[in-house]
Amino acid sequence: MVPKTTENWNGAVITTALAVAVLIGLGFGSVLLGTVDIVAVLVFLLLTIFFAIVYASIMVSLSASTGSTVRATTYTLGFFAVFELLWDAIPLAIVYVVEGFQMPTALPDWFTTVLMVSPSTGYFSAVNAFVPGIDSETTGGGGEAGVEVDTAYGDAIYAQPEVGLLFLVVWMAISLAVGYSRFTRADL
C-alpha cells in the first residue's frame, strides 16, 4: 500500500511533466509558426493531463485488484493490448461480418462510438471536439486496415467527437470505483 501522501504526488508529477513538455512545444511552435493560440494550447494541455491521469488511474486500479505483482503486470499488459493494439480491429471485424464479409463504403454510426471506448481514441476524439482549430485530418481520418472507407463522425448524437470525453470520464469513474472498493476491503 502506498501512503496517502505519495498518492497525491502521482497526479502532480504527471501534470508537471506534461505542462513542461507542452510549454517547450509552445516555445518551439511560436518560433516556427509565429503565433500560437493560447486557448487551444490550454485546452489541449487540460485534456492531455486528464487523459494521463485517467490512464494512470486505470493501471493503478488494475494493480490494486490483485495482490500479485505478476497478475497486476498481466492485467495492465492485457488492458494495453486489448484497448490500444486490438481495439480498432474488433469493431472493424464486426462490421465486416455483419456486411456479409465485405467492407462497406460508409461505416455505421455505432462504429465510431465503439472505437471511442478505447481511452486513447476517446482522448483523440475529445481533442478533435474541444481544441479550437484542430480539424479531422490531424486526428486520424482516412481508411482503417488498408481499406478506404468514410470514417467521418456520424450524425447520431452518440457518434459525435464530444462523446470521447464522456468515455474518459466513465473510465475514470470505473477505475476510482474499483480502487476504492479494493482499498476499503483491504486489511491494512
pLDDT digits (tens, 9 = 90+) for 41-90: 889 889 998 999 899 899 989 988 888 899 999 999 999 999 999 999 98
Residues 43/131, Cβ–Cβ less than 8 Å? yes
CA atoms within 13 Å, Cβ hemisphere of 175:
21
Cell of 53: 491521469
SS3 106: strand
How far apart CA 22 and CA 48 sit, in angstroms, is 10
pLDDT for the residue numbered 63: 87
Share of residues in the chain with pLDDT > 70 (%): 82
Give pLDDT, residue 121.
93
pLDDT of residue 137: 41
Contact at 8 Å (CB) between 26 and 44?
no
Structure confidence at residue 172 (pLDDT)? 95
Kind and range of the H or E run holding 164: helix 163-185
Residue 133 and residue 37 in contact, taking contact as beta carbons nearer than 8 Å: yes
